[in-house]
Structure 1
């Protein structure tokens, strides 16, 4: 297993009633700084889902996992005449086995919020404590932990389990997309700053690179792409304040962030030259995170398909006002 990564300082986590726009801004800052921990997952996904489900929100950093598991009632109701044997329990306590793959920052989290299919045939959400899983270390392209969590007959007490509607499963998906988009917005800003600093200080033919017209044009494109991501994320952050209105803006933010990564990284590396590809280069640390985050939680194609289905389902006449907030 790889070396443990430091978790965010739990004392620095904002209170549960913090304004959503502030939470998104904190996630953007985490992306800008390359913060080593599940801050975006904690603030924008795990805690809101637990609150919506009526579960207690643990202190400290949290991660989120979804996927199929072997889930049974821990206390089977043997007197039930509904369904096959084991289809009902005397309470909602569960016995869980299986593997959750590529869970972000699991080794740095105090607990994991899990969404899966329950033994009653509908979705459930429950909380796993770190001591309840066995961990197989993994990482993304940027070296950030993406660990597999192996569960072996773990008993989850009823007070940590809730049956939830399908709408909460959808919310988990778009919240994860928004969290990644916020991280991408922060790292994109970092790429802009690093690139502008490099072209201003690097000299060729007796003048800074930034004085060449071709370089100016590419820098302008870089700033534009980063601004597009930031604007989309800020629009989604504003929508979070109004219940029920954030799903579509979150799709747009996730799609725009994923789409912009290729151009942001292309321009930043082109203007840095070979130095930007070295392993310890600050630009390398930012761009490998961008490539990794772009492909997580569905990727560009998945978010664009959601938007496309929204249009085809009869909301096309509302598309532009919804995108622009008009």
Structure 2
């Protein structure tokens, strides 16, 4: 996924380069040049913004070969800074779709002050939403591909003297597949429009879209492979590329459990009277 998709609207002055990204938590970050102060532990305040970072950046898209823009919580709030993979310990990996997902281990990695970009909590929240929505859009497009391939297969495959699509049981499963795909695409389209209009205030429809997209993956993949039969699992089948993408993107940038939990916590915090407003978008 292009970093432009995630950071296009953050209005940051970044050098022109090819980037990948990582929204990271669990990093240990302190100022590399601590200021003399009696407030807080050493590293809480710095003479400048130079940072020293330790920790792990997991499953970074093409992280072994590309500068990684890290968005995380710094000592004084959210920050964005680049990481050069050649200065880290890289463990290469891939997701189920065969896309590079590399893990980078940072040990006292120093980020020069000029490369540290403080960002607002609102900008950080919007970057997280844009990453999740971009992943949900990939799921929606792969779901549409599953519908296209499955419809073509059941229309052309003949059993007992007639196409598979003429059997009632197959028609029912195809209808369920199309319905699930439409549900995902509708949620993603609505969330994209809301994010375009409202930025980080659109977190509820984006969270709902990613939660629904990830939750629908199991049913979409199940029906598609069931109607294709064993041929759908072979390396020569185009369906395999769509469903391995679905299974991979389901977990990336927050799976259905992560976003559903956030939705649930928000609904509880707002109180029972606010639930209808959240569901209808009138909050």
Same fold (TM over 0.5): yes
Match of 1:129 among 69, 79, 84: 84
The answer to whether residue 238 in structure 2 is matched with residue 272 in structure 1 is no
Is this contact kept in 2: 1:233–1:253, CA < 8 A?
yes
SS of residue matched to 2:81: strand
The answer to whether residue 274 in structure 2 is matched with residue 319 in structure 1 is no
- Give the alignment of 1:177-192 within 5 angstroms: 177-192=132-147
Root mean square deviation of aligned Cα: 2.3
Q: CA deviation at 1:225?
A: 0.9
Please give the alpha-carbon distance, in whole angstroms, between the structure 1 residues aligned to 2:72 and 2:54: 12
The answer to whether residue 72 in structure 2 is matched with residue 116 in structure 1 is yes
Please give the alpha-carbon distance, in whole angstroms, between the structure 1 residues aligned to 2:32 and 2:103: 24
Q: Which moved more, 1:232-241 or 1:123-132?
A: 123-132
Cα-to-partner distance string for 1:261-299 (whole Å, 9 max, x where unaligned): 111111100100000111332111211111121122331
Q: Which moved more, 1:57-66 or 1:250-259?
A: 57-66
Report what 1:217 is aligned to.
Answer: 172
Specify whether residues 310 and 153 from structure 1 end up closer, same or farther in structure 2 by C-alpha distance, changes over 3 A only.
closer
Q: CA deviation at 1:224?
A: 1.2
Q: CA deviation at 1:108?
A: 5.0
Q: CA deviation at 1:94?
A: 1.1
Q: CA deviation at 1:81?
A: 4.4
Report what 1:10 is aligned to.
Answer: none
Match of 2:182 among 227, 251, 256: 227
Match of 2:46 among 71, 80, 89: 89
Structure 1: which 5+ residue stretches go unaligned?
A: 1-37
Please give the alpha-carbon distance, in whole angstroms, between the structure 1 residues aligned to 2:65 and 2:206: 26
Report what 2:99 is aligned to.
Answer: 144
Please give the alpha-carbon distance, in whole angstroms, between the structure 1 residues aligned to 2:121 and 2:131: 16
Report what 2:29 is aligned to.
Answer: 71
Match of 1:173 among 104, 113, 128: 128
Report what 2:264 is aligned to.
Answer: 308
Please give the alpha-carbon distance, in whole angstroms, between the structure 1 residues aligned to 2:206 and 2:21: 19
Is this contact kept in 1: 2:20–2:60, CA < 8 A?
no
Q: CA deviation at 1:47?
A: 4.1
Is this contact kept in 1: 2:70–2:81, CA < 8 A?
yes
Q: CA deviation at 1:167?
A: 3.7
Please give the alpha-carbon distance, in whole angstroms, between the structure 2 residues aligned to 1:90 and 1:55: 23
SS of residue matched to 1:103: strand
Please give the alpha-carbon distance, in whole angstroms, between the structure 1 residues aligned to 2:156 and 2:60: 40
Cα-to-partner distance string for 1:221-260 (whole Å, 9 max, x where unaligned): 1111111111111111111222343211101110110121
Structure 2: which 5+ residue stretches go unaligned?
A: none
Q: CA deviation at 1:300?
A: 0.9
Report what 2:5 is aligned to.
Answer: 44
Q: CA deviation at 1:137?
A: 0.4
TM-score, normalising length: structure 2: 0.89
The answer to whether residue 244 in structure 2 is matched with residue 288 in structure 1 is yes
Please give the alpha-carbon distance, in whole angstroms, between the structure 1 residues aligned to 2:237 and 2:231: 7
Match of 1:256 among 212, 221, 225: 212
Q: Which has the higher contact order (CA 8 A, sep 6+)?
A: 1
